[in-house]
Chains A and B, each alone.
Chain A
């Protein structure tokens, strides 16, 4: 599974097999697959979208967790939000889908490292963290933590499609999709595949510093280009309170997140402070919400959850 994948015959400006121009542009002239593409048979794979639509018809809200920047807390927030939703209402089911193929973090953060995915007649069974919280990640399919997925785009797209069409989630209130950083294959694929099934929107995570905001603005631009509704922006790692003297430090320089939200007219959902214990809980897969139920992060999270619920109903 970890062999280097080479597509030596694929032209560099291939329009993609699903494109209207598949097999028809100048780049296709020398491609060995030109006939196949221009015949339109490959577009038949569009039927995959129908399967996805069918599979996800009992999932009420499908939400992407995005950020142009890496390491801002997409996976941590996805985990916190899913746990908060599951804790809030024991009757409603929540699930997390991790589409970070090269760096899956959900198995560790949700405390289900080393679990296996089982196949049944109705599809792949996700791994259950709580009775009403399940997760699927490529991490469950790797036998060794050192195994690297060295894949180019098309193979990543293939597995994402499988995750969307073959996982047997059951009836869900929320499906949170954790993504890798950037605006490339994974992001385009997931938005395309979910176009018919209906994507509720995207939550964007950022840290306060300008370097992160720079990439996050690009992500907002991406959402607008592909017509994904932005449910709101969450600022992570905003302040650090010294456990010894209670001095507040801005580790990642001054914050322009609220200003950015105003400038770009997107809702601001809230800020979360830095807590070293949260990083520790993520490393060990412990439920932070139960561990530190009175922390400022949990309080901030409550408001964020309210904000998301409100945005989902608009």
Chain B
């Protein structure tokens, strides 16, 4: 399973709507822009967001003798994507599945997708600590799972759920690479006043409490929300978000000792 993948990074959060999918797609795109070969696997079966965020809705997964061929974002095939969204024929259709069916689907995603040689595989997850998470954790036991990045927003209500996710990682032996705090402040476009809509400083407090590093703090930036498939580091190079993503990437490369890209750009 995943023999051709060098590193696996899980993007987790106990809380929903904190930006797991946005962070996953932007991390994958940033790695791609740096010349790495990247895979992005979306295991949120009831609410897959990756196809929309990368503007790949309506693309099909093909079957080849070795297994399922993932969807590529461009002909260079530098970024391979897999999501249940590609298997549904109607974007409004719901996937009303109990645990055992979800487990089987995730196992198939992990076993049957022909990723090819990848420097890194990013796995985007649904919120919680249940079937999807247990399945991924159990199956990655035999794979060198490199670790988890935990996403949170600053308010207590989110931190409370994320603490549970950290307990999950510790109990199951998944190394935590660090915490990313998202939506930490909104800068008014007119007067530049910064409002902490979801309070502030929660990510740093949590990092200290759980004794894991804080990888970065991302502001609320409506322009990042509408990038849709484009890398923040390329489209908005001077934005705070781009700087934070670049910085997070360097930290991950360092922590995981990811070798320089196989094909320099």
B122-141 contacts to A, CB under 8 A, are 126-131, 133-134, 138
CB <8 Å contact, B53 and A149: no
Known pairs A103-B161, A279-B198; A218 contacts B93 (CB<8 A): yes
Question: When chains A and B are docked, how far (Å) is the Cα of A75 from the Cα of B97?
Answer: 23
Binary CB contact string for chain B from 149 to 162 against chain A (1 if under 8 A, 0 otherwise): 00001011110110
> B198 → chain A, closest Cβ, in Å?
5
Residue from B92, B130, B167, B188 within 8 A of A153 (CB atoms): B130
- The answer, yes or no, to whether B77 is at the interface (CB within 8 Å) is no
- Output the nearest chain B residue to A11 by Cβ-Cβ distance: B100
CB <8 Å contact, A249 and B188: yes
Q: In the complex, identify which listed stretch (A38-46, A80-88, A124-132, A182-190) lies at the interface while the others stay far away.
A: A182-190
CB <8 Å contact, A279 and B18: no
Question: When chains A and B are docked, how far (Å) is the Cα of A14 from the Cα of B158?
Answer: 34
> A112 → chain B, closest Cβ, in Å?
14
- The answer, yes or no, to whether B259 is at the interface (CB within 8 Å) is no
Contacts of B165 in A (CB 8 A): 148
CB <8 Å contact, B157 and A182: no
Question: When chains A and B are docked, how far (Å) is the Cα of A5 from the Cα of B191?
Answer: 52
Contacts of B100 in A (CB 8 A): 7, 10-14, 153
- The answer, yes or no, to whether A282 is at the interface (CB within 8 Å) is yes
- The answer, yes or no, to whether B256 is at the interface (CB within 8 Å) is no
Residue from B47, B190, B191, B225 within 8 A of A68 (CB atoms): B47
Question: When chains A and B are docked, how far (Å) is the Cα of A240 from the Cα of B16?
Answer: 21
Interface size range on A against B: 35 or more
Contacts of A212 in B (CB 8 A): 17
Contacts of A253 in B (CB 8 A): 222, 225-226
- The answer, yes or no, to whether A258 is at the interface (CB within 8 Å) is no
- The answer, yes or no, to whether B101 is at the interface (CB within 8 Å) is yes
Known pairs A12-B104, A69-B47, A150-B168; A245 contacts B190 (CB<8 A): yes
- The answer, yes or no, to whether A274 is at the interface (CB within 8 Å) is yes
CB <8 Å contact, A247 and B189: yes
A interface, CB within 8 angstroms of B: 2, 4-7, 10-14, 16, 68-72, 75, 101-103, 105, 108-109, 145-154, 156, 180-185, 187-188, 207, 209-212, 214-215, 217-222, 225-226, 240, 242-245, 247, 249-253, 274, 276, 279-280, 282-284
The 7 closest A-B pairs by CB, nearest first: A70-B16, A71-B17, A153-B99, A283-B156, A182-B46, A103-B161, A244-B193
7 contacts between A and B (CB under 8 A): A102-B130, A146-B164, A150-B130, A247-B188, A252-B222, A276-B197, A279-B157
